[in-house]
């Protein structure tokens, strides 16, 4: 890369969106205080650990979504990639000890394959990400309905899946939280310390400039979608382990929350700017918001309306900010 291009790729890393992160954490504190008015357990250590455990599933999925949004793209295949990962991992357990041992990687591999296909469509065929990922979501839905005959899957989660989602390993901390921490640490390292991460930011700012600087933009976009699919499927594997089995449409509840968590944390939905700590804050904020809305008995359609309004508001905010640069 030229010196000018290298400087361009570093700019988004230095411009850390501290204000959105601070606002997100302030909102987390506010939600906890509001929740404590309904129940004193909202501030108990047990409740906070449980909420972090629930947030970890969304956190793994949102990590992949953040990669895609940093590119200035969107991944609408999340719902049924999550479900496919859960179903395929559970299906592998029916093949004896070897199937149980390979259940988790098999589920992740299925998600990576679907993400790879979407990435090829976006990077090489130049199909808009919204179209190709929506098509992949429908294809995955059709395949899973055909596999199950339209009924709830009979396969159960493997012991390893249950242990990852519900077990504890270190000082009573749920394994699901540790898994999210490990995924997050890898994401931070990749985005801040590798050429891959700098190129992701550069492509999100201006793909043509990144290409002219020597970045293999097509392969990077394809790889980002594959990683997003793998992480979505991994989230499904964890959800299946948490519930004991996979279920039809279990990923439907994670599309808008994943997008909302990423943009709430300050990642520009137009690409090129973002900080993983903001995504962590956004995930916790969305999880607490879901909990409080449940306590307040807000219907599911009301929650979806709230997520949609958040996404539109952040799009307007970051759209103006980017236009002024």
The structural domains of the chain, with segments of one domain joined by +, span 3-324
| 160: CB partners within 8 A, 6+ apart | 100, 101, 103, 104, 241
pLDDT at 18 over 70: no
Model confidence at 294, pLDDT cuts 50, 70, 90, reads confident
Average pLDDT, the chain: 87
Residue 17: its pLDDT value, please? 46
In the structure, what pLDDT confidence band is assigned to residue 122 with cuts at 50, 70 and 90?
Answer: very high
The least confident of 1-5, 33-37, 194-198, 200-204 is: 1-5
29 class by beta-carbon count within 10 Å (0-12 exposed, 13-18 middle, 19+ buried)? exposed
Bridge partner list, 173: 170
Task: Tokens for 102, please give them.
Answer: 């390979």
Q: What pLDDT does 7 receive?
A: 43
Q: Is CATH 1.10.3470 the classification given to domain 3-324?
A: yes
Here the tokens at position 215 are 């970045």
Task: Tell me how far apart the alpha carbons of residues 294 and 220 are, in angstroms, rounded to a whole number.
Answer: 40
Task: Express each pLDDT in 75-100 by its tens digit.
Answer: 999 999 999 999 999 999 989 899 99
The pLDDT tens digits for 172-189 are 899 999 999 999 999 999
**What's the pTM?**
0.89
Highest average pLDDT, of 13-22, 47-56, 311-320, comes from 47-56
């Amino acid at each position: 890369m030229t010196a000018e291009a290298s400087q361009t790729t570093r700019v988004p890393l230095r411009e850390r969106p501290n204000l959105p992160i601070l606002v997100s954490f302030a909102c987390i504190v506010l939600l906890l205080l509001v929740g404590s008015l309904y129940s004193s357990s909202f501030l108990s250590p047990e409740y906070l650990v449980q909420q972090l455990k629930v947030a970890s599933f969304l956190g793994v999925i949102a990590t992949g979504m953040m990669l895609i949004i940093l590119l200035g793209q969107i991944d609408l295949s999340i719902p049924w990639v999550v479900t496919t990962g859960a179903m395929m991992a559970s299906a592998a357990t029916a093949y004896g000890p070897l199937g149980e041992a390979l259940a988790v990687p098999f589920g992740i591999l299925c998600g990576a394959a679907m993400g790879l296909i979407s990435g090829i469509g976006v990077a090489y065929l130049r199909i808009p990400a919204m179209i190709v990922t929506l098509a992949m979501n429908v294809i995955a839905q059709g395949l899973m309905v055909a596999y199950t005959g339209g009924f709830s899957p009979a396969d159960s989660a493997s012991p390893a899946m249950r242990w990852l989602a519900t077990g504890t390993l270190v000082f009573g901390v749920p394994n699901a939280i540790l898994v999210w921490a490990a995924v997050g640490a890898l994401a931070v390292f990749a985005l801040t310390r590798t050429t891959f991460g700098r190129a992701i930011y550069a492509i999100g700012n201006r793909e043509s400039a990144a290409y002219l600087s020597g970045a293999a933009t097509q392969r990077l976009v394809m790889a980002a979608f594959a990683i997003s699919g793998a992480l979505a499927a991994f989230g499904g594997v964890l959800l299946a382990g948490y519930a004991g089995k996979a279920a039809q449409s279990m990923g439907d509840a994670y599309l808008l929350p994943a997008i909302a968590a990423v943009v709430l944390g300050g990642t520009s939905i137009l690409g090129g700017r973002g900080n993983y700590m903001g995504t962590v804050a956004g995930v916790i904020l969305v999880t607490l918001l879901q909990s409080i809305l449940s306590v307040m008995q807000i219907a599911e359609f009301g929650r979806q309306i709230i997520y949609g309004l958040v996404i539109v508001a952040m799009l307007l905010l970051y759209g103006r900010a980017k236009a002024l640069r």
